[in-house]
Structure 1
Amino acid sequence: MNLLTRLRETAKNAAGKTAYYFMGQGTTYAELDGTITKFASGLEKLGVKQGDHVALLLGNSPHFVIGLYGALRLGATVIPVNPIYTADEIGYILNNGDVKLVVALDMAIPLAEKVHAFLPKVKKFVFCETSENGISQHNVESLTLYSKMKSFTEVIASGDLTYQGPELKDDDTAIILYTSGTTGKPKGAMLTHKNLYSNASDVADYLRMNDQDRVITILPMFHVFCLTVALNAPLLSGATLLIAPKFSPKEIFELAKEFEATIFAGVPTMYNFLYQYPEGNPEDFKSLRLCISGGASLPVALLNNFEKKFNVRVSEGYGLSEASPVTCFNPLDRPRKAGSIGTSILHVENKIVNELGEELPVGAVGELIVSGPNVMKGYYKMPEETAAAIRNGWLYTGDLARMDEDGYFYIVDRKKDLIIVGGFNVYPREVEEVLYNHPDVVEAAVLGVPDSNLGEAVKCYVVSKNPNTTEEQLLEYCREHLAKYKVPASIEFLEELPKNTTGKILRRALKTQITHTV
């Protein structure tokens, strides 16, 4: 079984069921499956073969869903790319990933015109038409890129509805996800059809997804969190996607109310914005049975405040690209422990080890490692990095964690973000949790900075909703709740914290950017 087979089964058995709503318009499973089939056939007619690499430079839209499943049905390998990356970042991924065809919005045509000569492996560009920023046929014909171009609708129109596609093997590479590259050039994690299906299926079972669920799909589809939890798992379950093109608290509340959403998946920053939104009406969320948080640690204070205000359970989980991504979730049939990423999901094993790979006892802090059918086959064209990440069948995550006596795991921090103050370990999350409990703090980020006496010192960046809050007030608050060596040496106020496209706060960007005290 794979995602494509399961989708086809749903389209046959529940043809009239709505697969997704986008901009108020619904599309059934039968219509979606038919369009995917024709797109796959159209790609084949453009010369794309099984095993070729197809890149998607798309935001949240039906184009992404059709492009993803269409390319997979053909047997191609899909490489999702953040469409707001710079030309250099995109060029690196397309070249390193040996991409043969690119699917992008038509607003990317000017960029493609500038760089396509430097992308010799890319033979075709398929551009998705938009209602604005489109380029007229006359202008398109004048481009040097013109011979390589096709429109998304043309590809679908050329396709054959009876197309069957090749047999897909479990170990075939389905998707290559490029990591953020915070420690160097991005690495492409190769995920197989088995990786994707097993994780989507296990997540759906763990969270009890069913064909009556309506899932708000606002996380970026090109990101692995959304890909599995808010796209593949719902479609595998026969649920309905409520596709939102961009995050807006106002629109999320309206979407949830209009379509009686049952599941919302987001990152901590989204929960913070929803909680802080003045017009946020708990009645608009009354249909929600579950909120899912991932991508970064959710501050306990925010979790408790959100649950109290909106009367909905928030279950935090954990994952990484190399694991397709989910390894842990707070279970629905047992108590949810605030601050925990939960227990191991079905068919996945997590454990805590020391530097020698030896399992540590309950409560001890060590590196979290993972094993299961969701673990990647390796990094694309990087055998040494693969060998370092996967050892004896275990994926080494680089995250420091501990496990309690009930089998619940807690992320302490990224191994590389650990701050050592005078020989004492300080975990940024611990300090951040204290700051989030202060009534004036909206966001906080903690990192280590060089210190001539102690080796490192704790530095904090804070966004406050009270312009009168002072550094000394927050430092005094920290002194009341933290050991002396954990208390920040300084706190700097910012209007906002730097984030990536999923809303995750970027600590490393804070180390290099020039900041200004508010």
Structure 2
Amino acid sequence: MNLYGSLWSSARRNPEKTALVSGSRRVSYRELVWAVEDVASRLEAMGLIKGDRIGLLMKNGPEFVATFYGAMKLGLIAVGLNVMFRRSELEYILEDCGARVVVAEQALVDVLRETDPVARGDIAVLPAEDVLRGGDFHARMATSGPAGWEDGDVKPWAARAEDDAVIAYTSGTTGFPKGAVHTHENILAHLEGVRRHLGFKETDVFLASLPFFQLVAFLIHPVMAIHVGGTVVIQQKFEPEGFLRAAKAEGVTFFAAVPTIYQMLDAASAEAGRALRSVRMGICAGSPLSAELRESFERRHSFRIVHCYGMTETALIVACEDPGVPPRGVSVGRVLPHVRVRIVREDGTPARPAEPGEIHVGAERALRAYWGKPTETAEALREGWFATGDVGRFDELEHLHIVDRKKDMIIRGGFNVYPAELERVLLSDPRVAEAAVIGIPHERLGEIPKAFVALRHPGTATSEDILDFCREHLASFKVPGEVEIVEPDFFPRNALGKIVKPELRSRLLSDRADPAKNGSVATGVGGLGAFSTRDRK
């Protein structure tokens, strides 16, 4: 079976059930299959054949979902395109993947047409607004369904389980984006594994506000909902009041969000308390919630927030907490049964229990390749394992703890310091809402950690207060050399709301190179190195 077959199976079981809700629009499974058949026919008429790449440049909506499944039926390879991309960013990905068609919403067509491959005529553009064809689509669907619906005699779909389904581009924070290729089989195995672990059923109602062009967000919301025969409520983008209205009106049972969204929902606690009564579980993605926020949110709203671990290169979730088991600090839970994980040292030998090392994921549940990049593929996939570049460890109960990114590690006077460990300590301070730690140059020690901290309530702590808290909970060589208090909007973020550290690092280095941008800095020496404090007003 391929991904289109997953939709077909759910539609056959319950054709009149609502599959998608988007504002005032409601699309049943019968209607969704018709729309998918329709868009597949048009793409086929444009000359697309199995293996061709198709770009999806649109905000969250039924059109995105229908286009994706139409591509899956034909055996095309879907490429989600960030709606915030500028011309050069779009151009790079379109050239890299060799897309033949881009389905784009009208508001984004102008920037698309500025790209060289579209201007040359190498790529055709199909308006996203035509995918469901408005009232005409619903009129045609009022009394009929796709050909062969009643007897199941439909045209066979082209893709096989082992064929490529998607190319998901990494964020590009370490250079040019790389396209992670995933097969139908890999995605379906992840969907089924996560379904079993989290207990998703056809009665579940998913609320999707994270951007669909991000693969993990797309798979955990509409694709998972369709896989289990549930309903997905679509927000074009996150907005607290609309999110809460939709949750209450539709009886939402599940959503995934980043810490920023949980903070915004918590700030609207009076309304959220009524609107989220039907929710049975939420996922926190991207980075962990502060202990204070997680505990208060769960207590107020009476549902679990589970941390999980996954990335673009693994398509979906590798490890996840059990919603029925109390959390163990900020672990991401146990590795799911359908995935293999090992921890290895720098020399490639297995790490001892509780010893940090690089996380390797079994290659059968990771990307097939980086599109058009055999060298990078060979570096990442070795002897049946995918090297994630993340540092982790297992505790005595085999819960996985993410220590940091290998590339983010700070070497302070010969000691390894992992920013993620410092961030976890900072987030355990009830005064702290968000924190990011990066390495900055130091004349004597090589590097020292600098912490940027946003407070839950302005004025409740100074940089020196935060340093004192760190000294109580960290070895001296791990204590930040600098702490800067910032506003929440100070942090550069990606489309999921996750803090982009390379951009933060670049900004800091630029500021240090320009004396006019530097405020007064108090410095001192203690323990293994210097520390300074500075508050951003």
Global fold match (TM > 0.5) = yes
Residue pairs, 1:89-238, within 5 angstroms = 89-116=89-116, 120=120, 122-129=122-129, 151-152=130-131, 161-162=146-147, 164=155, 166-238=157-229
SS at match of 1:381: coil
Which residue pairs with 1:51 in the alignment?
Answer: 51
RMSD (Å) for aligned C-alpha atoms = 2.2
Offset of residue 294 of structure 1? 1.9
Q: Deviations over 1:112-152 (max 9, x none)?
A: 333356654733101223xxxxxxxxxxxxxxxxxxxxx44
Answer whether contact 2:118 2:124 (CA < 8 A) is retained: no
Offset of residue 449 of structure 1? 0.5
2:356 counterpart of 1:365: yes
Answer whether contact 1:421 1:455 (CA < 8 A) is retained: yes
Which residue pairs with 1:3 in the alignment?
Answer: 3
SS at match of 2:195: helix
Q: Which amino acid aligns with 1:338?
A: G
Which residue pairs with 1:17 in the alignment?
Answer: 17
Answer whether contact 2:90 2:115 (CA < 8 A) is retained: no
SS at match of 1:281: helix
Question: Which contiguous aligned blocks of 4+ residues in structure 1 show a shift greater than 6 angstroms?
Answer: 154-158
2-side partners of 1:444 and 1:336: how far apart?
21
Offset of residue 335 of structure 1? 4.1
Answer whether contact 2:35 2:131 (CA < 8 A) is retained: no
2-side partners of 1:355 and 1:438: how far apart?
33
Which residue pairs with 2:241 in the alignment?
Answer: 250
SS at match of 2:115: helix
Answer whether contact 1:253 1:285 (CA < 8 A) is retained: yes
2:493 counterpart of 1:508: no
Which residue pairs with 1:473 in the alignment?
Answer: 465
2:385 to 383, 386, 394: 394
Which residue pairs with 2:530 in the alignment?
Answer: none
Q: Which amino acid aligns with 1:194?
A: E
Q: Deviations over 1:275-303 (max 9, x none)?
A: 23354432321211111122223333332
Answer whether contact 2:101 2:123 (CA < 8 A) is retained: yes
Offset of residue 306 of structure 1? 2.1
Offset of residue 67 of structure 1? 1.0
Answer whether contact 2:222 2:232 (CA < 8 A) is retained: yes
Q: Deviations over 1:221-279 (max 9, x none)?
A: 11122122112122100011011111122222222111111111112222222223354
Answer whether contact 2:67 2:131 (CA < 8 A) is retained: no
2:30 counterpart of 1:39: no
1-side partners of 2:323 and 2:445: how far apart?
44
2-side partners of 1:346 and 1:275: how far apart?
33
SS at match of 2:480: coil
Answer whether contact 1:282 1:311 (CA < 8 A) is retained: no
Offset of residue 386 of structure 1? 0.5
Offset of residue 68 of structure 1? 0.7
Q: Deviations over 1:451-493 (max 9, x none)?
A: 1111111111122231463222222222222222222221223
2-side partners of 1:295 and 1:122: how far apart?
36
1:330 to 317, 321, 327: 321
SS at match of 2:100: strand
Offset of residue 448 of structure 1? 0.7
2-side partners of 1:153 and 1:229: how far apart?
23
Residue pairs, 1:271-310, within 5 angstroms = 271-277=262-268, 279-310=270-301
Which residue pairs with 1:67 in the alignment?
Answer: 67
Which residue pairs with 1:416 in the alignment?
Answer: 407
Q: Deviations over 1:7-64 (max 9, x none)?
A: 1122122011111111033211111011101110111111211111100011111111
1-side partners of 2:340 and 2:348: how far apart?
15
Taking only the aligned residue pairs, the percentage that are identical comes to 34
C-alpha change, 1:333 and 1:278, in structure 2 (3 Å) is closer
TM-score, length-normalised on structure 2? Answer: 0.88
